[in-house]
Amino acid sequence: QQQVKQSPQSLIVQKGGISIINCAYENTAFDYFPWYQQFPGKGPALLIAIRPDVSEKKEGRFTISFNKSAKQFSLHIMDSQPGDSATYFCAGYNDYKLSFGAGTTVTVRA
Amino acid sequence: NAGVTQTPKFQVLKTGQSMTLQCAQDMNHNSMYWYRQDPGMGLRLIYYSASEGTTDKGEVPNGYNVSRLNKREFSLRLESAAPSQTSVYFCASSEQPHSNQPQHFGDGTRLSIL
């Protein structure tokens, strides 16, 4: 039973467009919500993260929006570039363990 | 700086065979982790070692054993491989087992069990 539900499974966006990935969680003990980016044949790498007492965090073209009452958070990729084409995973952290969503494959068309 | 190194990169086994996946990190991290990645399932934690000398079960430990050989190395063993263990296995490490410490991943071992 996945503790973090992620959608959509895949999305295609034009260069310069906005990619939006949504996640929902049930475990209210999660105290840290990272996003990982994975390129084919490579391991995931931390992209950006947020704590539940913050509603938004922005790093460059990547923004996390967090809604604690709804137990939802999302990743926005602004001005999407072909180099952003990858699989993105949201996760929740509690008790030494990360619980990952199923992943979203983003394809940016030039 | 190599980061997290996993060996082998690819392996094919027959049902019932045993195998050890190796992982080493050169970042002087205290915590290490083993995950498996399956299509549509994301990454699931198999075992972790919060510090040298300790190991604990994760979400899907059945059929696996681990050894924290020293601070650098954390191995994953399949005693009697089953087709359900066909997956991509990732090792990761972090400085401490706390939420604000990012986990650094290796590039994975692709394991097929026939």
Contact B56, B50 (CB under 8 A): yes
Q: Where do we find the tokens 């990982």?
A: A36
Q: Which amino acid is at A82?
A: P
Q: Structure tokens of B49?
A: 């070692």
For the segment A18-39, what is each residue's pLDDT rounded down to a tens digit? 999 999 999 999 999 999 999 9
Distance to chain B for A48, nearest Cα, Å: 10
For the segment B48-98, what is each residue's pLDDT rounded down to a tens digit? 999 999 999 999 999 999 999 999 999 999 999 999 999 999 999 999 887
Chain B: residue whose CA lies nearest to A33: B99
Q: Structure tokens of A99?
A: 């619980």
Residues of chain B with C-beta less than 8 angstroms from the C-beta of A9: 40
Contact B57, B45 (CB under 8 A): no
Q: Which residues contact B62 (CB under 8 A, 6 or more apart)?
A: none
Q: Which of residues 4-33 of B touch A (CB under 8 A)?
A: 4, 31
Q: How far apart are the first and last CA of chain A?
A: 37
Interface touch A41/B48, C-beta < 8 Å = no
Residue whose C-alpha is closest to residue B47's, from B30, B27, B28, B67: B67
